[in-house]
């Protein structure tokens, strides 16, 4: 069971301490994603050294490879990857609905074909909890029914109601499998406030260790995302962690923090890095984040928050060919202050793996530093 203590507040934003069986986490926090047993290109000690407090592992991916039997045998993915801190696992729901070839959704669970070898598998709330326990999660997520990108109100409602029933089964199974871990419920309901309200109410009635906003950042407009996030955050229990799943761009995270959300995860920093897209500080990080946060509090448009934070550069562009400036003078990860843009561009153009590492370190440290500055802002305000 996790313990959650709000230590500081400014407006609706809060800074808290989340305790888990594997250590405490200062929120607001961003969780790097260790999809299949590594934060891509990085060693666990590097992930820790750039400021990560907690990582996220993907149940769907680890169910396929290396599979729960091996994970049980070796004592979980954390032991395998040498990550000693806290870990959250998703439920597999999102990937089943987005990556796999879905066969059918039934009340019992979901049947699908692996995107790797096509073999048929089933995930039910009970199986998801079992696999999450085998992975070795400190925080588990309920198994949920995820409506596709933009769906009809009927589909959102159906998915939300089924998710509520699966929430109850998830909680029961989690208590069975690993009562020391905690479990979060997932609020569904698309872009409809009333569906979101019913979802939250149902989850609170069951009672979870934390609550997550699911089914956003899946294709709806940014204005819709912000509206629903703010609305739902304002109603979520104040004494439990609030987690926005799968979001997002730096400016989004600053906004979500301003409305009182505590936890985040996203593939953006690592995936964009591998495509040569870098988040480069617009200036001194403390000043950038302060300005961005103040714009977020005033309800500024996302691009206005973004421009205070960073410049997005495509390192493969011609303009960086002979740029002997360092990757980012304001990013305190050593490699970004050591290596030049000309070198990083060359590595990408030549297809050298080292380029992916340098870009990943840059982006992930950008996110980590942003969270550090956000926490300081809330503490100092």
- Give the footprint of a copy of itself on this chain (CB under 8 A): 36-38, 40-43, 61, 65-66, 70, 73-74, 80-82, 321-322, 324, 335, 338-340, 342-343, 346-347, 349-350, 352-354, 356-357
- State in angstroms the smallest separation of the CB of 110 from a copy of itself: 23
* Closer to a copy of itself by Cβ: residue 6 or 354: 354
Are 5 and 32 spatial neighbours (Cβ–Cβ below 8 Å)?
no
- For 318, list phi and psi in degrees, rounded to 5: -45, -40
Residue 78's SS3 state is helix
Cα 334 from Cα 41, distance rounded (Å):
16
Q: Is 144 a catalytic residue?
A: no
Q: Is 14 left (phi over 0), alpha (psi -120 to 50) or beta?
A: beta
* Closer to a copy of itself by Cβ: residue 39 or 371: 39
Only one residue has tokens 């989004």, namely 252
Cα 214 from Cα 212, distance rounded (Å):
6
- State in angstroms the smallest separation of the CB of 16 from a copy of itself: 32
Nearest CA among 135, 212, 144 for reference residue 178: 135
- For 170, list phi and psi in degrees, rounded to 5: -60, -45
- State in angstroms the smallest separation of the CB of 78 from a copy of itself: 11
DSSP notation for 209-262: SEEEE-S-SSSS-HHHHHHHHHHHHHHS-TTS-EEETT---HHHHHHHHHTT--
- State in angstroms the smallest separation of the CB of 52 from a copy of itself: 15
Q: Which residues contact 32 (CB under 8 A, 6 or more apart)?
A: 39, 47, 52, 55, 56, 265, 269, 270, 364, 367
Catalytic residue from among 90, 144, 145, 302 = 90
Catalytic residue from among 144, 262, 265, 328 = 265
- State in angstroms the smallest separation of the CB of 117 from a copy of itself: 12
Nearest CA among 211, 210, 288 for reference residue 250: 288
Nearest CA among 267, 258, 146, 126 for reference residue 213: 146
Q: Is 265 a catalytic residue?
A: yes
* Closer to a copy of itself by Cβ: residue 307 or 332: 332
- State in angstroms the smallest separation of the CB of 56 from a copy of itself: 16
* Closer to a copy of itself by Cβ: residue 40 or 295: 40
- State in angstroms the smallest separation of the CB of 319 from a copy of itself: 13
* Closer to a copy of itself by Cβ: residue 77 or 288: 77
Cα 203 from Cα 210, distance rounded (Å):
10
* Closer to a copy of itself by Cβ: residue 37 or 190: 37
Dmax over CA atoms of the chain, in Å, equals 60
* Closer to a copy of itself by Cβ: residue 27 or 59: 59
Question: How buried is 223 (Cβ within 10 angstroms: 0-12 exposed, 13-18 middle, 19+ buried)?
Answer: exposed
**Which residues have a catalytic role annotated?**
90, 265
């Amino acid at each position: 069971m996790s313990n959650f203590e709000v230590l500081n507040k400014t407006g609706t934003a809060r800074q808290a301490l989340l305790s888990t069986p594997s250590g405490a986490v200062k929120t607001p926090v961003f969780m790097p994603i260790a999809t299949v047993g590594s934060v891509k290109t990085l060693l666990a000690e590097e992930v820790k050294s750039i400021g990560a407090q907690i990582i996220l592992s993907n149940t769907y991916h680890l169910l396929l490879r290396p599979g729960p039997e091996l994970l049980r045998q070796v004592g979980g993915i954390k032991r395998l990857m040498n990550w000693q801190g806290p870990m959250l696992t998703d439920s597999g729901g999102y990937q089943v609905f987005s990556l796999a070839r879905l066969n059918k959704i039934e009340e019992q669970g979901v049947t699908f074909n692996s995107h790797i070898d096509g073999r048929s598998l089933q995930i039910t709330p009970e199986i998801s909890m079992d696999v999450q326990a085998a992975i070795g999660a400190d925080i588990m997520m309920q198994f949920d029914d995820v409506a596709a990108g933009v769906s009809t109100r009927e589909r959102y409602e159906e998915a939300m109601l089924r998710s509520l029933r699966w929430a109850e089964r998830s909680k029961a199974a989690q208590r069975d499998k690993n009562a020391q871990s905690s479990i979060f419920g997932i609020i569904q309901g698309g872009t409809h406030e009333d569906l979101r309200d019913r979802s939250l109410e149902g989850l609170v009635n069951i009672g979870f260790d934390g609550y997550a906003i699911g089914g956003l950042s899946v294709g709806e407009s940014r204005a819709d995302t912000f509206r629903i996030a703010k609305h739902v955050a304002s109603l979520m229990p104040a004494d439990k962690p609030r987690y926005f799943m799968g979001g997002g761009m730096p400016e989004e995270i600053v906004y979500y923090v301003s409305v009182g959300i505590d936890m985040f995860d996203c593939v953006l920093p690592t995936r964009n890095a591998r495509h040569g897209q870098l988040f480069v500080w617009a200036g001194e990080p403390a000043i950038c984040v302060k300005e961005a946060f103040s714009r977020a509090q005033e309800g500024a448009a996302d691009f206005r928050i973004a421009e205070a934070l960073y410049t997005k550069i495509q390192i493969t562009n011609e303009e960086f060919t002979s740029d002997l400036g360092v990757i980012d003078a304001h990013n305190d990860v050593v490699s970004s202050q050591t290596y030049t843009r000309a070198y990083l561009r060359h590595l990408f153009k030549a297809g050298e793996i080292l380029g992916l590492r340098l870009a990943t370190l840059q982006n992930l440290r950008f996110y980590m530093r942003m969270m550090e500055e956000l926490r300081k802002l809330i503490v100092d305000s």
